[in-house]
Amino acid sequence: MKVLANDGISQTGKEALEKGGYEVITTTVAQEQLINYINEKDISVLLVRSATTVRKDLIDACPSLKIIGRGGVGMDNIDVEYAKSKGLKVINTPASSSHSVAELVFGHFYGLARFLHNSNRDMPLEGDSNFGKLKKAYANGTELKGKTLGVLGFGRIGQATAKVALGAGMKVIAFDPFIEKANLELEFFDGQKVNFEIKTISKKDVLKQADFITLHVPAQKEYVIGKAEFDMMKDGVIIANAARGGVLDEIALVKAIESGKVAGAALDVFEKEPKPEIQLLMNASLSLTPHIGAATNEAQDRIGTELAEQIISILG
């Protein structure tokens, strides 16, 4: 049987599938040509990440498909229920990239807290001529240790991010409408383990108390953070969205930055991805990455291996 990994797959995942007797095709087929390609090649398994969409038209037009797989967590680019109603298996890898996203969030947080995103731009331009000026401009950094991290969405990724925060010496508070509490186990290099039980609180209390806020929620119809939510926050809060574009109101964010309510924000995802608004790209208070939350070598290896294991288990 043939597997089309249209958005790529790690070498470990490819090798695992080939060892299981599958032919793995890693050609990237344009969306408008995908139906014809799947039918011509008699593809049984279609694997995607976020670039390729799998909608009703493709599902109806490709009778050879048995499995649709998403390398990652969210599956908003796949008509999941419709695919299942047509007898297809739909799989993803919800746990594989959790720690990668968590580390990216904290890369942004540390950078924003010490103005690294701006300093790294300014030093090559003015480091030799205005060293003293830059030193003064970026002297008022803040430490994360002892601060409060608010986590909105306390599933796998939210919990992984909370673990990094606990390791950094932060207090963690969290909101999730479906989770009352979570037990977080921190493992250290020498085998020691420490357990923390985090009980979720109201969204309002998280917004009021947090010094840093991170979003880990699925795509939804309404904003999770908009003007009303910004108004509840502490002055000088720092925010990260590495979840989905559209869960944070970007216009309200810019206004909150201009008013001083928000000191800085990190965006890995955007409402108008892949063409973010120019006012975001040019805003000095924003630390930006191009949707790379899960894009580590380690995560991609885990994703590929987990997809291969699921496919082999389902199809034999």
Same domain, 87 and 102: no
The pLDDT score that the predictor gives to residue 62 is 98
Instruction: Give the structural domain span for 118.
Output: 98-288
Q: Are residues 72 and 170 in the same domain?
A: no
What separation in angstroms does the CA of 237 have from each of 232, 258, 301?
A: 11, 13, 35
Is residue 283 domain-shared with residue 303, that is, in the same domain?
Answer: no
Say yes or no: 182 and 88 in one domain.
no
| Residues recognised as catalytic | 244, 273, 291
The pLDDT score that the predictor gives to residue 36 is: 97
Q: Are residues 28 and 118 in the same domain?
A: no
| Tens-place pLDDT, residues 284-315 | 999 999 999 989 999 999 999 999 999 999 99
Q: 2 and 43 in contact (C-beta within 8 Å)?
A: yes
Average pLDDT over residues 166-192: 97
How confident is residue 74, by pLDDT bands cut at 50, 70 and 90?
Answer: confident
Q: Do 158 and 209 sit in the same domain of this protein?
A: yes
* 191 pLDDT higher than 90: yes
Q: Are residues 89 and 147 in the same domain?
A: no
Q: Please check whether residues 43 and 184 belong to one and the same domain.
A: no
Do 90 and 111 share a structural domain? no
Rounded to the nearest integer, the mean pLDDT of the chain is 96
Q: How many domains does the chain have?
A: 2
Q: Which residue is associated with the tokens 């987990």?
A: 306
Maximum pairwise Cα distance, the chain: 67
Report whether 18 contacts 24 (CB < 8 A).
Answer: yes
Q: Nearest Cα to 152, choosing from 228, 202, 216, 211?
A: 216
- Identify whether residues 269 and 233 lie together within a single domain: yes
For the cut 90, the answer to whether the pLDDT of residue 76 exceeds it is no
CATH number of the domain enclosing 111: 3.40.50.720
* Mean pLDDT calculated for residue range 190-218: 97
Note whether 112 and 56 are same-domain residues. Answer: no
Structure tokens given for 120: 């790294």
